[in-house]
Amino acid sequence: MVTPNEKLAASLAQLQKLQKDGRRVFRSGELTRVHRERLVGSGFLREVMKGWLISSSPDADPGDTTPWFASFWEFCAAYCSFRFAADWHLSPEQSLLLHAENTVIPQQVIIYTPKGANNTVDLLFGTSLYDLRQKEMPPDADLVTRDGLRLFVPEAALVRVPEAFFERYPVEAQVVLSGIRDASDILGRLLDGGHSVVAGRLAGAFRRIGRAEVADEIVRVMKRAGYAVRESDPFEAEQAFGTLSRAQAPIVGRLQSLWETMREPVRAAFPDAPGLPKDTKAYLSFVDDIYQNDAYHSLSIEGYRVTPELIEQVRAGDWDPENHDADRQSRDALAARGYWQAFRLVRSAVGEIIGGGAAGALVRTAHRDWYGELFQPCVAAGLIAPSALAGYRNDAVYLRGSRHVPPRHEAVRDAMPALFDLLEQEREPAVRAVLGHWLFGYIHPYPDGNGRMARFVMNAMLASGGYPWTVIRVEDRDAYLAALESASIDQDIAPFAQFVAERVQWSLEQAA
């Protein structure tokens, strides 16, 4: 008789065949009813809507958004291609967001298609698709396919988006405008459509971000063709912009623009920097004294069950995985040991920083070693492969409960040098600390441990201004994560800046 385990194994074998090439989205008809029901019942598949399934995990609870958000764009591409063949595309607004590396999962995606019914298709966790009926498809030259999604090319999307896009998404608008090679491709579309108002808006936008030569050419050529063009700036007056290079990757421009936009709110929220300490021994003594408290809270935020006794056992050297099975098998003990090893390296870097070392340059070099020490105990115990210590991730990652999706792994190699460039160029220690922490987590460069690493970066940057080591408490976890989410989803750094400033102020009072 075939056992239940053997039946499930047979169903998993069928699912494995479908998951080749990383597929996560399936039509129900691709599996027999028996296999489908068995895999849904055991948690390996989840139904999105009738006829559509996504990969899941048996340990994902019903409220876990991760499997869905990990599959979201693949589902959109597969569902739309099934329903509309090649006769569909995303909105110009969503096209520009994706071109600018905005990876937030939208609550609703608008699908333009001649086959549309102006109908909303409700999906999981409050997301939906809306198929907007249009008379005809745009020219092929206006569209490009990326990861199965049919998008407007940037030049065509810029001509089509409303003025409100520039106010609502100034970072994305700047990134895309900066990536336009010259005015030619945009001018062809403006002239063919007689878009004199749009021409004035785009000229004003290009001039605002420092590309006056493009703005002048748009106005000059449109007027030569007989169009009256009145240049207007579509951005809000108080919007701050840096200068972005046209040759850089979109993720680099995105980070630079976010940094420039968020500098002032951070500075406004923070107490003045004390300056580098005269008594470096006293500063480092405070760091030593706070270790146990910091380790407990930082590990607890990440879901580890640690106690002061376990932390002290690790620090005292009583943790012995080579001779004690309990130590070797304890996930919490392994995490605590890794934290202690990494903390010692961070403390060493902090010592150099308060001695006058360049914080950004030091952390650029040292952070890989911090990560290696965090997970060395897990490698030594055989719980993870040695390749986990190789460096930045090679796969997509998704954050439990968050609509923010970290950048594609291909973008991480461009993003991290850009982050450290920003840290090195920044004059204000508070800005380095807040934006360094947030953007490290935003990029999520490592397969695991990014929260702990971000807090290490924050404290190294705080040291560069003489601020004391600051602990993010586990009891503040919800407020902490909500503030990070606000920065990543709404590009509103003020809640996170205020949150960190309050914790720093508490530390200043304790260290006084």
Quote the CA–CA distance of 506 and 504 in Å, as a whole number. 5
Instruction: Give the containing element (helix H, strand E) for 122.
Output: strand 119-122
Contact 148, 127 (CB under 8 A): no
Tens digit of each residue's pLDDT (9 = 90 or more) over 120-151? 999 999 999 999 999 999 999 999 999 999 99
* Across 350-357, average pLDDT: 96
Largest CA distance in the chain: 85
Confidence check: pLDDT of 422 > 90: yes
| Residue whose C-alpha is closest to residue 134's, from 90, 96, 200 | 90
Which residue type does 396 have? A
Q: What is the pLDDT of residue 9?
A: 83
Place of tokens 């003045």: 272
The distance of Cα 252 from the centroid of its chain, to the nearest Å, equals 13
Q: Are 165 and 93 in contact (CB under 8 A)?
A: yes
Average pLDDT over all residues of the chain: 91
CB distance 264 to 240 below 8 Å: yes
129 DSSP β-pair partners: 109, 121
Residue 121, phi then psi, degrees to nearest 5: -105, 110
- Worst-scoring range by mean pLDDT, 49-58, 175-184, 196-205, 376-385? 376-385
Q: Give the model's confidence band at 334: pLDDT under 50 very low, under 70 low, under 90 confident, else very high.
A: confident
Structural element, H or E, at residue 131 = strand 128-133
Examine the pLDDT at 327 and tell me if it is beyond 70. no
pLDDT at 298: 94
- pTM, full prediction: 0.87
* 127 three-state secondary structure: coil
Q: Which of 78, 29, 26, 401 is nearest to 44 (CA)?
A: 26
**Per-residue pLDDT for 322 more than 70?**
no
DSSP 136: S
How do beta strands 45-49 and 52-55 pair?
antiparallel
Evaluate if residue 178 carries a pLDDT over 50.
yes
- Rounded to whole angstroms, how far apart are CA atoms 94 and 112? 11
Taking 60 as the threshold, does the pLDDT of residue 174 lie above it? yes
Do the bridges between strand 108-113 and strand 128-133 make them parallel or antiparallel, or are there none, so unpaired? parallel
Assess whether pLDDT exceeds 80 at residue 308.
no
Residue 328 is predicted with a pLDDT of: 47
pLDDT band at 324 (very low <50, low <70, confident <90, very high): low
Structure tokens at 391: 């460096």
pLDDT tens column, 225-241 = 999 999 999 999 988 88
Instruction: Provide long-range contacts, Cβ within 8 A and 24+ apart, for 83-88.
Output: 83/115, 83/131, 84/111, 84/113, 84/115, 84/116, 84/131, 86/150, 87/113, 87/114, 87/115, 87/137, 88/112, 88/113, 88/115, 88/131, 88/150
Helix (H, G, I), strand (E, B) or coil at 440: helix
Q: How far is CA 390 from CA 372, 373, 385, 394, 417, in A?
A: 8, 12, 10, 10, 17
Order of all β-strands in the sheet with 119-122 = 89-90, 108-113, 128-133, 119-122
Calculate mean pLDDT across residues 253-267: 95
Q: Are 84 and 55 contacting, i.e. CB atoms less than 8 angstroms apart?
A: no
Instruction: Tell whether the model's pLDDT for residue 268 goes beyond 70.
Output: yes
Tokens of 49: 């809507």
Structure confidence at residue 102 (pLDDT): 95
CA atoms of 496 and 486, how far apart (whole Å): 8
436: pLDDT strictly greater than 80:
yes
Q: Residue 457 pLDDT > 70, yes or no?
A: yes
Q: Residue 181: pLDDT above 70?
A: yes
pLDDT at 333: 80
Q: 108 exposed, middle or buried (CB, 10 Å; 0-12, 13-18, 19+)? A: middle
Distance (Å, whole) CA 418 – CA 252: 6
CA angle at residue 146 from 145 to 150, to 5 degrees?
A: 40
The confidence band for 336, taking pLDDT boundaries of 50, 70 and 90, is confident
- Residue 5 DSSP class: H
Task: Report which of 400, 369, 487, 389 is spatially closest to residue 437, judged by C-alpha positions.
Answer: 487
Residues in the chain: 512
Question: What is the C-alpha to C-alpha distance for residues 411 and 396, in angstroms, rounded to an integer?
Answer: 11
| Domains of the chain, first to last | 4-59 (no CATH), 70-224 (no CATH), 250-511 (1.10.3290.10)
- The tens digit of pLDDT for each residue in 339-351 reads 999 999 999 999 9
- Judge whether 120 and 150 are in contact, CB under 8 Å: no
- What is the pLDDT at residue 302? 87
Alpha helices in 243-324 (DSSP H): 250-269, 280-301, 308-315
- Counting Cα atoms < 13 Å in the Cβ hemisphere of 143 gives 16
Q: Over the stretch 388-417, which tens digit does the pLDDT of each residue have?
A: 888 899 888 888 889 999 999 999 999 999
Distance CA 361, CA 208 (A): 32
Q: For residue 282, how many other CB atoms are within 10 A of its CB?
A: 10
Retrieve residue 309's tokens: 């006794």
